[in-house]
Structure 1
Amino acid sequence: MISVVTGAAGGMGRIIVRELARRGDTVVAVTRSVAQFEHENVEVMTADLSSLDDVRRLAAQITARHGALHLLVNNAGAHFRDRVVNADGVEMHIAVNHLGGFALTNLLLPTLLAGAPARVVNVVSAAMTDTRQMKIGRHPRPVTLEPTPLTDLNGEAGFEPFTAYARAKLLTLMAGYRLAETTTGVTVNAVNPGVAGTKIVDDMMPAFMKPFGAMVKRSMLTPEQGADAILRVATDPDLEGVTGRYFDRETEARSPEISYDRALQEWVWTSSATITG
């Protein structure tokens, strides 16, 4: 079995790589910079997923080395406190959390089909259902999405980093639903692993909470617990052939209502494909 894991150097990523390697997979661990892993059957490849040129180079490197793939875990994620755009003019939450994985999945799709039955697992976030960082009151604030050019999404006016992060994860979820409907031989599912005490939590934490960061993270899931939810969707034999689903940790669940809008799904796919080529 040949597996690819992005965000492999992060808290959950390292655990996913370790457990896949332990079961005997050859694991392509995609990291932003060179990293070391304990198992000999781990191949480290570096890439900046905010750069489409780098994603294309990565995909070419993977396919040159492996003629068939059996699993792709789009685990990479990032949170940015300020609004920044990449070389293509796309806001960085969308560039890293959506377009990087979208482009990589499509570039690797022929190689995944060669390894069929294969799986794609997109790691998303419950932030899609409630973009409030402080959950005060009973009414959640789901992320919104309007069909506008992707280069205009998460614009400067009213920019909120956590909402921008949630919107990018929603794009990934919806593109995955669209791919699942049109692909045979490769299943595509999304999973929210829960809020685990990883580095991205440090990036998201409001400044006034920083002094209590260690205590806050102790109240969260461990990286191992978060990774377990991802690994289940990636490897559970009972999920063979299951596609187009969203899992809230171990439980199949309903994602935000907007994610089921077929017209919006098509817009997400077309807009993303236009930018990524």
Structure 2
Amino acid sequence: MNGETVLITGSTDGLGRHLAVRLGAAGARVLVHGRDARRAELVRSQILAAGGPEPLVLHADLAELSQVDRLADDVAQHVDRLDVLVSNAGVGFGRPGAARQLSADGIELRFAVNHLAGYRLTRLLLPLLRSSATPRIVNVASAGQHPIDFADPMLEHHYDGVTAYRRSKLAQIMSGFDLADELRGEVVVNSLHPASFMDTTMVHEAAVVPHSTVTQGCDATLRLITGPAARSTGRYFNGEREGRADDQAYDPDARRRLRQLSDELIAAHTRP
């Protein structure tokens, strides 16, 4: 990873933080993204203590599309190429029984952060990714997936946080498959479920007993950045093995409808 530039969204906690420190220690210049300045500075210090090059700290709330755009602008101001984008930032199930939440733009929160923010950011960063000799995109998704109901994609009826989360993660995988097809031969795009119920803030908030460690999830994610899997595109991994996503991810019409929905939401809430 010496000399490579890596942006990890949501890299101030959980999997993102562990990944940032390990990649920094391996010689990558890490772009640390988060909302909390104190936690971002802590990650920066950990990377330096591990012997990594000076990281760049970037602040943005991905629940607001204008801040997603600003994040892309900030990256472009500081680097002339991007070798790896890890789309990791996310919102979990939430507390059991919690009410439906909206983003700053009035979009169902989990769809907005887990899918739409990454969808938008990736598109904006494609010129920098194309400037790399070996560009890779890794979408940190989940094995917990639920088909999207396009009659009610924002879960205005019969809401629950688990379904919202699972739909957003399937959307992330679907858009990853689309992008892999579009950029085949230019950029490697893969998605993965890193590990089940890792010991993270997100899992504890949902009142779930952790089943695996963050280190396990980090190992699986690193394989898509530095291992043999980083050379093939358009795949979904369950941990360290290739898996199969929900059937809807392989439905061309469903993916078309998701693209249309995503583009309409972005057009309604961003400047041309």
> In which range does the TM-score fall when normalised by the shorter chain?
0.7 to 0.9
Structure 2 counterpart of 1:178: 178
- CA shift, 1:87, in A, is 3.1
- Equivalent of 1:70, from 80, 83, 94? 83
Q: Describe the superposition over 1:28-80 as per-residue Cα deviations: whole angstroms up to 9, x where unpaired.
A: 01111112222242211111011000010010000111110000001111123
Structure 1: any 5+ residue segments left out of the alignment? Answer: 129-142, 206-212
SS across alignment from 2:101: coil
Runs of 4+ in 1 over 3 A off after TM superposition: none
**Between Structure 1 and Structure 2, how many residues are aligned?**
248
CA contact (8 A) 1:193 1:226 kept: yes
1:269 aligns with 2:272: no
Cα distance in 2 for partners of 1:10, 1:247 equals: 22
Q: How does 1:245-264 map to 2 (within 5 A)?
A: 245-264=235-254
Opposite residue 129 of structure 2, the aligned amino acid is L
Q: How does 1:1-277 map to 2 (within 5 A)?
A: 1-34=4-37, 35=40, 36-37=42-43, 38-40=46-48, 41-79=54-92, 80=94, 81-128=98-145, 143-148=146-151, 152-183=152-183, 184-195=185-196, 196-205=198-207, 216-217=209-210, 220-236=211-227, 238-277=228-267
Q: Describe the superposition over 1:241-260 as per-residue Cα deviations: whole angstroms up to 9, x where unpaired.
A: 30100000000111111110
CA contact (8 A) 1:116 1:186 kept: no
Opposite residue 175 of structure 1, the aligned amino acid is S
SS across alignment from 1:126: coil
CA contact (8 A) 1:180 1:188 kept: yes
- CA shift, 1:225, in A, is 1.0
RMSD: 1.4
- CA shift, 1:154, in A, is 3.4
CA contact (8 A) 2:20 2:47 kept: no
Once the two structures are aligned, what percentage of the paired residues are identical? 35
TM-score normalised over the length of structure 1 = 0.86
Cα distance in 1 for partners of 2:144, 2:229 equals: 25
Structure 2: any 5+ residue segments left out of the alignment? Answer: 49-53, 268-272
Opposite residue 162 of structure 2, the aligned amino acid is F
